Amino acid sequence: MLGLEYELSPADVDESAEGPPAERVALLAGRKAAAAAKGRREGLILGADTLVDVDGQALGKPKDEEEAARMLARLAGRWHLVHTGMCLFDAGTGKSLQKTVTAKVRMGNLSEGEICAYVRSGEPMDKAGAYAIQGLGGSLVEGIEGDYFAVMGLSLFALRAMLGEMEFGLWRP
């Protein structure tokens, strides 16, 4: 959406981490950027990670459909936070920037049948908090305060600012 060419390079990193969810996403984004940067001498590498935060407890990707249903039942009818950590690393200079963006999301009231139908769609299985706001899960969300793209998993506004700070291409200040 920013008009940039990129190469997707999944980073196989240990995603276990301790601490508050907002700190964990920053740490994991840094790990992913570092892993993807190995062996590179130039270019910008972006690592990102997202967690749903309910009362200070992180909800990552569900292990199975039962866990997905439990997560959605817990989120139903209430507000929660979504933290997206981003780490931008310049392989040529070694400079890196980190940013965590948090949005507040209110999940609508959901019946057990609605939760089961959504889980059966398969969409929740690879998503933090067991929903994808950019997909079918968007119909479950009653409200949002903050950056929609951060809830999706990558804040375009924050990324644009980080690119400007790195003096990258058209995003130079």
pLDDT tens digits, one per residue of 82-111: 999 999 999 989 899 999 999 999 999 999
Taken in order 75, 58, 122, 2, the sign of the CA dihedral is: positive
What residues contact residue 20 under an 8 Å CB cut-off, 6+ apart? 56
pLDDT tens digits, one per residue of 11-54: 788 778 888 999 999 999 999 999 998 888 998 999 999 999 99
Taken in order 70, 71, 72, 77, the sign of the CA dihedral is: positive
Domains by residue range for the chain, with CATH: 21-166 (3.90.950.10)
Give the Cα separation of 80 and 89 in Å (integer).
Answer: 30
Active site residues: 49
Give the Cα separation of 75 and 106 in Å (integer).
Answer: 8
